[in-house]
């Protein structure tokens, strides 16, 4: 392949001795016109469920503990090396049952008293009801988890991934 840069203002591509492309550079960079689009939002309405009052909640508890959205994600936490340089202060898997904790703490500079706290808020089915409030609840949970582990509100940063799909749908 031979690449030749010119001042023609065009991108010309030849392939197998045939011209495959001949486009103005201005179009390549700015040529896609904006499409005027409008939308309306209709808030979903859900009927309040009728919840039966039970004397014994054992079956309900067992059913809830079997749900994927509150099950352990220990497998995910085992996929990365959180012991790099031995800097973990609070590990992701905690307690006798090795369940995921609400936050982890690492000390990247071993001779420093400073640390980095990571946490998350996950509400995988809440978006079926209200995406805005799902995101707000996830932020609230992540902040509470970080603060409970010692984070300062004045030095908090957020990263969002609210648009991820739910793989069990």
Check residue 1 and give its pLDDT: 60
Encode 54-69: b = buried (16+ Cβ within 10 Å), e = exposed.
eeeeeeeeeeeeeeee
- Residues 125/140, Cβ–Cβ less than 8 Å: no
Q: Which three-class secondary structure state does DSSP give residue 70?
A: helix
- Nearest Cα to 142, choosing from 117, 116, 120? 120
Average pLDDT, the chain: 83
pTM over 0.75: no
Residue listed under structure tokens 């706290």: 117
Model confidence pLDDT, tens digit, residues 48-68: 888 889 999 999 899 988 887
Indicate whether 162 pLDDT > 80: no
Model confidence pLDDT, tens digit, residues 112-138: 999 999 998 887 778 888 888 888 998
Q: Which three-class secondary structure state does DSSP give residue 21?
A: strand
């Amino acid at each position: 392949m031979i690449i030749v840069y010119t001042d023609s203002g065009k991108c010309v591509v030849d392939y197998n001795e045939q011209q495959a492309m001949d486009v103005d550079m201005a179009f390549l960079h700015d040529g896609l016109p904006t499409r005027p689009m409008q939308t309306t939002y209709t808030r979903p309405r859900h009927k309040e469920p009728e919840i039966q009052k039970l004397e014994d909640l054992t079956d309900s508890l067992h059913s809830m503990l079997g749900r994927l959205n509150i099950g352990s994600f220990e497998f995910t936490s085992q996929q990365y090396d959180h012991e790099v340089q031995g800097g973990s202060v609070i590990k992701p898997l905690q307690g006798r049952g090795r369940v995921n904790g609400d936050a982890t703490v690492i000390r990247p500079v071993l001779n420093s008293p400073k640390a980095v706290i990571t946490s998350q808020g996950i509400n995988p089915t809440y978006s079926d009801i209200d995406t805005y409030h799902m995101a707000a609840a996830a932020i609230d949970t992540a902040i509470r988890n970080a603060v409970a582990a010692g984070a300062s509100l004045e030095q908090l940063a957020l990263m969002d991934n609210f648009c991820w799909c739910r793989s069990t749908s």
